[in-house]
Amino acid sequence: MNQPHPRFPEIKYYRPKTLKEAVEFLEKHADQSRPYTGGTDCFNQVRDKRIYPEYLVDLKSVEGFREIKFDPKKGLNIGAAARLNEIICHPKITKYYPVLVESAREVGGYQLRNRATLVGNLCNASPCGDTIGPSLVYCSKMHIVGPGGKREVDLKDFFEGPGKTSLRPGEIVESVSFPIPHPGTEGIYQSIGRNKFGDLAIAAVTVLGYEKKDTSSGYEFLITLTAVAPTVIFADLAQDILTAQSITHGTLRQAASACGEACKPIDDIRGSAQYRRDMIRMLAFRGLEKTCKLLNISL
């Protein structure tokens, strides 16, 4: 039979049932282990020998890892093994974090999302990870556990480069939490890929806006740019423009242009750097325009 891919290498498989078991194992085999939940990225990386772990540590059975908890005061907590389709169907996430749901729908096909996890998508740290931008604008926090105990890291400080995070050897992410968004928050995730749905983003923009009395414009906007820099980035200057000036079509154009300036795209198989920069300007303008409409701002 014609084998399009190399054979999956020999590997050892370990499936802890408790967090304690997982942490102890990972502490002992920190450099030889790879945490594994949905496996949708990890499976191909191991098979194609881009990574060489001795052990796959399957965290799906760890108590509490599949849980999605919502509290109207504390916010949302999504366990490391909660799947994207479970997130998409969750009524509270749809109500309070619709932009996250929109972005999760963009990840692969239905079958893939039955395995893929949000925490996995974040830990993979791809510059084009669809759920990263929305997770950043909703100010999420990674809950990490490892040999040194537990710690929390703001998602904005989690990424260090393409595929690189601030996770230390032996550490795993237990869950990701999201505070309750400001009342009246609206936003949108705009992406383009080679196909209309389900493909990796060539460029994407997330916009989130809400009313804020103490700013000159009366609003605060958070904007992230995907697939146009080594990590997903905030468009700081564009955000400042929208806070400092009253919101008009001109301000939106100025902010969209600042998004174009903020990105550092590369040429690759999916698009040229110039195309990506142009698309970021267009996606940012459309995203801002739509968000303003949702916020009932007359331009």
Partner 1 sequence: MELIKIQVTVNGSKEILDVHPNLSLLNMLRENLTLTGTKSGCEAGECGACTVLLEGEPVNSCMVLAVECRGLSVETIEGLSEEEPMKKLQQAFMELNAIQCGFCTPGMLISAFALLKRNPDPSDKDIRMALLGNLCRCTGYERIISAVKKAARK
User: What are the residues binding partner 1 (CB under 8 A)?
Assistant: 1, 4-5, 7-13, 15, 39-40, 43-44, 56, 58, 60, 85, 105, 108-112, 114-115, 197-198
- Evaluate whether 163 touches 45 at the Cβ level (below 8 Å): no
Is the Cβ of residue 199 or residue 240 nearer to partner 1 in the bound state?
Answer: 199
Closest CA to 181 of 112, 144, 135, 143: 135
CB of 121 to partner 1, least distance (A): 14
3-class SS at 183? coil
- Least distance to partner 1 from the beta carbon of 9, Å? 6
Q: Which is nearer to partner 1, 85 or 190 (CB)?
A: 85
Could you tell me the smallest distance in angstroms from the CB atom of residue 85 to partner 1?
8
Backbone angles phi, psi at 192, to 5 degrees: -125, 140
- Least Cα distance to 244 among 267, 264, 219 occurs for 219
* DSSP string for residues in 157-181: GTEEETTEESPPTT-EEEEEEEPPP
Shortest CB 130 distance to partner 1, Å: 14
Residue whose CB is less far from partner 1, 54 or 152: 54
Q: What one-character-per-residue DSSP string does 110-136 give?
A: HHHHTT-BHHHHHHTT-TT-TTHHHHH
Least distance in angstroms from the C-beta of 47 to partner 1: 8
Nearer to partner 1, 85 or 117 (CB): 85
- DSSP label at 237? H
User: Vertex 74, ends 72 and 75: CA angle to 5°?
Assistant: 70
Q: Which is nearer to partner 1, 64 or 198 (CB)?
A: 198
